[in-house]
Amino acid sequence: MSFTRPYLSVWPLSPAIRNFILVFLGALLLHVAGTWTIPLIDRDEPRFAEASREMRERGDYVIPYFNDKYRFDKPPWIYWTQIASYRVFGENDFAARLPSAVAAALTALLLFVWGRRLGGERIGWWAAIIFILCLQTFMHAKAAVADMWLVFFVTAAHWAGFELLADSLGRRSPALGRAGSIDLEMADLEMARPRAVETNHDPDHKYWRFVFYVALGLGFLAKGPLAWIPLLTVISTKLFVRDVPLARRFWFVTGILGASAIVCSWGIPALNFTSGDYFRVGIGRHVVERSFNVMEGHGANSWNTYLAAIPFYFFMVFISFFPWSIKLPALTRHLWRRRDAIDNYLISGILIIFIIMTGVMTKLPHYTLPAFPLLSLLLARHIFDLRGSPHFARRVAVTATVVSLAVTLIVFPLIAPFFPAAQLFKLSRNDLLPDMDFGNVDFFEPSVVWYFRGRVHGYSRGLNPDQLEKFMHFPGPRFAIVPTPLAQAFSAKIDPSWKTYRARGFNIAKGKPTDLTMILKQSQ
């Protein structure tokens, strides 16, 4: 009798899968680094983080609140992702920022795969590297805000739109094997004259249409109507590929109805529960009014300054896309002389975003961030055709990585003590009680709510200086955060059993130094 020795077959990961994992984990670790060492920055980060906590506390996953009041600024996707992060890692700065890092890493992965399908490993790697290491991505991938999820879904929609047009743009779309794996050996990169072969019954088109409209629907849940910009990019292809049958290829009516159904699955309950206020404020104020009026001091407050600010984003890109923006003039000259339909598709998406944001009255540097993945892919396609770029690209990638890690692991801890709300919380957290009331005078920043509601179940209230004495002598444990000069003037009325804590720092929202004192009463 013979026995066959049992053995375990080990199936090693393919090189493609290993690279996918490497891109995602590399981007994630780079963007996560240091997110726990610096407090949330007023005013946006604490608002998002606290709204997610209050949504979780209420068990209401439709309507966000901040400090017990409606928060209609953004749709719910960012809150849902932060809640998921809180459930795993707890309610802290790291957990609040983690979803943005995940979204940035997923976007880098999309660029890697998209670039790989366009021209092989090198384009995929450099598209991901360029996006990961530009300044604006560095900032927003570490921020507890909604922007990076918008970038991810807009990029996914742009990619899906490109795949539906691939044959007309001069590239025959590679076949998809089982489980969606990419057979790159079947990819045929055709840079000759674009062909308008109608392949409406191609099974891949059904898949890409699904991705396109799901990305539009979820993108709207991430940050509103701006997520539908890829529709304009697709339509713009008529300018340079005139014979492509867009309506038959994209099924616009059916697809838009499907994307709208995704939005309505949340939007209808939200409108119903708030009697339409979510739409009037969320869309009316934060989209329409922001387009035609200055909000929170961001933008031009007159038509003269508005006209002068028209080139704002075209100049700001040299800062936001740094260090890769150094090559933008050379890339522009190169593309002016020679470009193909694929370049035109990427350029159209970039210009549409820049032009729309230029027309908006309120202006902030990160508004054009959804264009950066396309810009990264465009530069990756041509970076090694530009003079001196091979050595430049490698040096910049290494330098940017080192600088990024140095900033997050060395600079962030050095500036953390200058965040006064976080410092006051650290000093007083052992004396905080769950049933405390708390208020503030002349420091109405959201970071106060975020940090102290981690221990205190009440909500912050704004006080006038003449209300401080009445508030502190009201029965029950409580504390107030006030400017130190006011605390010093109030010192004669402070009971000996009360405690005080002082923190000096910088109010980033107002751009000025601040000196705060916390007056705390534990007993009746």
Which stretches of 224-340 are DSSP H helices?
229-236, 246-250, 252-273, 277-279, 290-292, 303-308, 312-320, 328-337
The confidence score (pLDDT) of residue 284 equals 61
Confidence of residue 180 (pLDDT cuts 50, 70, 90): very low
Residue 498: pLDDT over 70 = yes
Of the candidates 495, 500, 506, the residue with the CA atom closest to the CA atom of residue 479: 500
The confidence score (pLDDT) of residue 175 equals 41
Domain spans of the chain, in order of start:
33-411, 419-521
Q: Is 136 exposed, middle or buried (0-12, 13-18, 19+ CB in 10 A)?
A: buried
pLDDT tens readout for residues 365-412? 899 999 999 999 999 999 999 887 778 899 999 999 999 999 999 999
Residue 179: pLDDT over 70 = no
- DSSP output for 15-81: HHHHHHHHHHHHHHHHHHTTTTTSPPPTTHHHHHHHHHHHHHHHT-SSS-EETTEE--SS-SHHHHH
The confidence score (pLDDT) of residue 295 equals 52
Mean pLDDT in residue range 463-490: 95
Of the candidates 473, 469, 424, the residue with the CA atom closest to the CA atom of residue 445: 424
The confidence score (pLDDT) of residue 10 equals 46
The confidence score (pLDDT) of residue 116 equals 95
**Cα(303)–Cα(314) distance, integer angstroms:** 19
Residue 176: pLDDT over 90 = no
Q: How much is the pTM?
A: 0.90
Mean of per-residue pLDDT scores for the chain: 88
The confidence score (pLDDT) of residue 362 equals 76
Mean pLDDT in residue range 177-206: 47
What is the three-class DSSP state of 407?
helix
Contact 437, 476 (CB under 8 A): yes
Contact 43, 448 (CB under 8 A): no
Residue 314: pLDDT over 60 = yes
Residue 337 CB coordination number (10 Å): 6
pLDDT tens readout for residues 402-436? 999 999 999 999 999 999 999 999 999 999 999 99
For residue 434, say if its preceding peptide bond is cis, omega within 30 degrees of 0: no
The confidence score (pLDDT) of residue 501 equals 97
Lowest mean pLDDT among 180-189, 322-331, 379-388: 180-189
The confidence score (pLDDT) of residue 285 equals 60
The confidence score (pLDDT) of residue 308 equals 58
- DSSP output for 170-204: TEEPPPB-GGG-B-GGG-EE--SS------TT-HH
pLDDT tens readout for residues 108-158? 999 999 999 998 899 999 999 999 999 999 999 999 999 999 999 999 999
- Per-residue HEC secondary structure of 329-353 comes to HHHHHHHHHCCCHHHHHHHHHHHHH
The confidence score (pLDDT) of residue 196 equals 41
Which sign, positive or negative, has the C-alpha torsion 480, 484, 489, 495?
Answer: positive
Q: Copy the structure tokens of residue 484.
A: 């130190």
The confidence score (pLDDT) of residue 174 equals 46
**Cα(186)–Cα(145) distance, integer angstroms:** 40
Contact 96, 40 (CB under 8 A): yes
Place of tokens 């820049």: 354
The confidence score (pLDDT) of residue 307 equals 62
**Cα(416)–Cα(436) distance, integer angstroms:** 26
For the sheet with 499-507, list strands across it. Answer: 460-462, 437-440, 478-483, 512-521, 499-507
* Contacts for 320 with CB less than 8 Å, ≥ 6 apart: 134, 135, 136, 365, 366, 368, 369, 372
**Percentage of the residues of the chain whose pLDDT score is greater than 90:** 72
The confidence score (pLDDT) of residue 301 equals 56
Of the candidates 383, 407, 410, the residue with the CA atom closest to the CA atom of residue 395: 383
